[in-house]
Amino acid sequence: MLRAGLVEINWTFVFQIANTFILFLVLKKFLFAPVLEIMENREKSINDSLDDAERISEEANKYKTEYLEKLQSAEDESRVIITKATKLADERSYHIIREAKEKVSELKDKADSDIELERKKAMNEIKDEISTLAILAATKILENEVDEVRSKAIVNKFIEQVGDEQWQN
């Protein structure tokens, strides 16, 4: 038997090394392989989860970008709609004001023509009243010297001589 320091090489030592090697092979076959497989599966699962998380994050960023683009598009569209509505309201108010002014002008013209017509009517009535009074006065003055036809002619001549300008004052 050989003795080299603390370790003695004998059959027990050889069996212990053989037992350790056999135990290593058995543990490798039945323990290390399944544990390594579990660890590889776990690593693969973690990597898949990380890949899924990254994919979901990228997808979320894509949806966020699309959402922001749609939001911006909606804001732009609302600005266009507001601009169109404002323009339409301005045009409508312009037309309404123009129509109101035209109506006021028409009513004023009609009122002016009605006033002129009433003035002429009143003038004619006054002339008729004056001529009737003048005929009565002339008849009283002349008392049968002049007939009615001749008196009307005299009154009409008088009215023409006085003129429309003096009656309007």
Each residue's pLDDT tens digit, 72-114 = 999 999 999 999 999 999 999 999 999 999 999 999 999 999 9
Q: Is residue 5 part of a domain?
A: no
Name the CA radius of gyration of the chain, rounded. Answer: 63
Number of domains within the chain: 1
Looking at residue 147, what is its pLDDT?
65
How much is the pTM?
0.42
Q: Is residue 1 part of a domain?
A: no
Looking at residue 169, what is its pLDDT?
47
Looking at residue 83, what is its pLDDT?
94
- Provide φ and ψ at 126, rounded to 5°: -65, -45
3-state SS assignment for residue 151: helix
Output the CA–CA distances (angstroms, integers) from residue 99 to 6, 88, 103, in the order listed.
123, 16, 6
From the centroid of its chain, how far is CA 86?
7
How does pLDDT run along the chain (169 residues), one tens digit per residue? 555 566 677 888 889 899 999 998 998 888 888 888 899 999 999 999 999 999 999 999 999 999 999 999 999 999 999 999 999 999 999 999 999 999 999 999 999 999 999 989 988 888 888 777 777 776 666 655 556 677 677 777 777 776 655 544 4
Looking at residue 143, what is its pLDDT?
59
> Residue 126: which domain range?
10-168
